[in-house]
Amino acid sequence: MGTMKGSDLGSVEQHVLLAVFRLRGKGYGVSIRDEIAARAERDYSLGSIYAALERLEGKGYLTSEEGEPTAERGGRRKLYFDITAPGKRVLQDALNTTDKLREGIDLGGVPA
């Protein structure tokens, strides 16, 4: 992107931020993937999720923290993510941009 405006989010990034926000501290790679799948029927591979998480943390929009091992069977520790104040701001902005462009239009579409 050469020199991006500096405060833009890709569509996966928006979805990941929304899921992290929703999960309020309980979000980690797998649960984020599942949350998006359950709510929006959109299936991302884990590779996509983790890549986005890494970028978002790098930009300061997320923080991460290792969890304790659970007594559930086996498996590696989870890496929990949380959204930061700048993260909320940039997400709000991105959603708002689209909202403004949608204002007052009707795409048609069959009523459910």
Partner DNA sequence: TCCAATTTGTTCTATATCCTTGAACATATC
Partner DNA sequence: GATATGTTCAAGGATATAGAACAAATTGGA
Rounded Cα distance, 65 and 25, in Å: 9
- Torsion-angle region of residue 18: left (phi > 0), alpha (psi -120 to 50) or beta? alpha
- In the list 18, 62, 78, 91, the residue contacting DNA (rule: CB under 7 A) is 78
* 10 binds DNA, rule: CB under 7 A: yes
Applying CB under 8 A, which part among 14-22, 54-62, 64-72, 73-81 lies near its own copies?
14-22
Residues 15-74 that bind its own copies (CB under 8 A): 15, 18-19, 21-22, 36, 39-43
Contact flag: residue 8 with DNA (CB under 7 A): yes
At a CB cut-off of 8 Å and minimum separation 6, what does 58 contact? none
- Characterise 108 by phi-psi region: left (phi > 0), alpha (psi -120 to 50), beta (else): left
Contact positions vs DNA (CB under 7 A): 1-5, 8, 10-13, 28-30, 44-48, 50-52, 54-55, 69, 71-79
